[in-house]
Structure 1
């Protein structure tokens, strides 16, 4: 699987680089910031794993058994969409780092400070970051329309893409609201958020777009979307775990940011549900605090492990992974020689998400 993803990543990165370089002159017609934003988008997008773009390719090959050349622009569109969402997400979450470097809005705030611009540099950074994210999304939509497939299929791709990204927007609103709610968020609502903010966007949508481009019908694409949801729930729960227990040098984000942002994760829900009364006051003080220390993070980690929450979550994830494996077998019974390799990659993806640590 890793070799496959690496190969697809190189192809997509090369396409994104060429596309943004050709767009620079056109965007500069509207102003000097055109070259600035394409350069920043390129620097921001290229270091990513590009798993969503690779899954577009995988979805195409799972159905066609062929190399995914006709959907390279669709794969690139998913990666620019990812940049759009992350740029905006960093602003909303007040995260100043992304992949070990200043987030885009922080970069623009620093530009304002260096140039001595009038007004609030932080506000300038936020405004420019929002613009950069918007531009990434508009460019992604343009790329989606360039798919080298039948015009009728292009129309289906654009419609599917727009509807799914709208769902991501609503899920993001839930995520933002959850952080400031005074009541507890149910585990069912958290899982729903994971399905629509992570599952359908990160896994369902790219797999569906690839399969759709290869000629798959709506019924098959819907089934593939349900598989993506389940893989995404596994991915997001592991992401929550890595965010709290991982290494910041590997993740590129400060460990413990979910505590300071009071993110209503499954880990948090289980912790607050099971923590002894004597610990609740400390937890209430820490979650949502803007001054969470390394010691505070270690305290939360220790309490989660003492209560056996991580072990229980791992068991639940293993059951979800088994359900995903069974669903793959039902979707691709008796795969032929042209597609069997791609089905094996899909199985490997499930296993990887279950065990990943970054």
Structure 2
């Protein structure tokens, strides 16, 4: 899905970082290698959206677009690594993530805590390095100074918004009985839409010299796309097959994530039966049971339809602007197949 130019730009950024790491310390090279591994295996639709939007709006700076696309992917890597720290997850895409890799190293070194502290330290530092590399890539992308400043402003807004969303994601788990659907959707919009969709769409527009109105409307489309994407991800986080998606099917329930799926379930007449499966580890049989309850309660269908509504809103804005992005359909309309063999509506 990623263009060759953006793929090349990302690889160059990673190689340059490894070269700098090698001048510091051999153990630091291991850390950078774990960061590089964290960039592998994803769909990389974010950089594709930068370059596709730039091209669709008649942009003439493909090299800068490729660099900024690579920066967006590094920003995503930073958030993924830090998100795993927040969720205490040590596996990503079916293999040990940064914390999992260094936890094992710590264990081999005889750490009294089984390597947990070493893994946590490595993940925080790797995420910081990816974040720094992303901002540096934007600053050195080769665009005109005023364009670079506008891009850095977009990245800054995305960083602040995503941080607010991640904090809200955790805070809402502390208030599970009072979270409203609007609060849940707002949290999902902040933690996903800003950097995964609004940022790449708007960055591509800025690089193409688009006017302020077009750039703002692309932000609206990004917001709607991000919510649709996150709603689909919520469904995969309960109904997905971990062997196929690389995502845990119990983490969201165990950590009481106040997703729209769970918020809706709390308002259903089956909540008394569902609530016993929330906030604890589940075995396979229990997971099947709560999946059935979330389906029969109407919560799964509600989220599917809500995702489709947001996707339709985004498509309408993009159509008005005359922008056709195949990546939109590829990412949000064809999510990984869920365990019962059907696909999520969005």
Decide whether the 8 Å contact of 1:238 with 1:354 is kept in 2.
Answer: no
Q: Within the alignment, does 1:26 sit opposite 2:10 as a pair?
A: no
Decide whether the 8 Å contact of 1:17 with 1:42 is kept in 2.
Answer: no
- 1:2-41 to structure 2, matched below 5 A, reads 5-6=1-2, 8=3, 10-41=4-35
Q: Tell me the alpha carbon deviations over residues 301-336 of structure 1, each in whole angstroms, 9 at most, x when there is no partner.
A: 11122123333333333333332222222222xxxx
Q: What does residue 49 of structure 1 align with?
A: 43
Q: Among 291, 309, 312, which residue is 2:302 paired with?
A: 312
| Alignment length (residue pairs) | 337
Q: What does residue 339 of structure 1 align with?
A: none
Q: What does residue 357 of structure 1 align with?
A: 336
Taking the aligned partners of 2:200 and 2:33, their CA distance within structure 1 comes to 25
Decide whether the 8 Å contact of 2:60 with 2:208 is kept in 1.
Answer: no
Decide whether the 8 Å contact of 1:59 with 1:211 is kept in 2.
Answer: yes
Taking the aligned partners of 1:11 and 1:47, their CA distance within structure 2 comes to 18
- 1:320-339 to structure 2, matched below 5 A, reads 320-332=310-322
Q: Tell me the alpha carbon deviations over residues 164-217 of structure 1, each in whole angstroms, 9 at most, x when there is no partner.
A: 111100110000111222533110011111211111211110110111111123
Q: With structure 1 as the length reference, what TM-score do the two structures score?
A: 0.88
Decide whether the 8 Å contact of 1:325 with 1:350 is kept in 2.
Answer: no
Which ranges in structure 1 are unaligned for 5 or more consecutive residues?
Answer: 333-342
C-alpha displacement of 1:355: 4.0
Taking the aligned partners of 1:34 and 1:324, their CA distance within structure 2 comes to 42
Decide whether the 8 Å contact of 2:50 with 2:69 is kept in 1.
Answer: yes
Q: What does residue 340 of structure 2 align with?
A: none
Taking the aligned partners of 1:119 and 1:318, their CA distance within structure 2 comes to 45
Decide whether the 8 Å contact of 2:253 with 2:279 is kept in 1.
Answer: yes
Distance 1:65 1:106, change over 3 A: same
Distance 1:99 1:197, change over 3 A: same
Taking the aligned partners of 1:184 and 1:103, their CA distance within structure 2 comes to 34
* Structure showing the higher helix proportion among its residues: 1
C-alpha displacement of 1:350: 4.5
Q: What does residue 274 of structure 1 align with?
A: 268
Q: Among 97, 102, 118, which residue is 1:103 paired with?
A: 97
RMSD: 2.0
Which ranges in structure 2 are unaligned for 5 or more consecutive residues?
Answer: 338-346
Q: With structure 2 as the length reference, what TM-score do the two structures score?
A: 0.91
Taking the aligned partners of 2:169 and 2:305, their CA distance within structure 1 comes to 25
Segments of 4+ moved more than 6 angstroms = none
Q: What does residue 206 of structure 2 align with?
A: 212
Taking the aligned partners of 2:74 and 2:309, their CA distance within structure 1 comes to 33
C-alpha displacement of 1:66: 5.3
Q: Within the alignment, does 1:62 sit opposite 2:41 as a pair?
A: no
Q: Tell me the alpha carbon deviations over residues 23-52 of structure 1, each in whole angstroms, 9 at most, x when there is no partner.
A: 223233333333212211111102211111
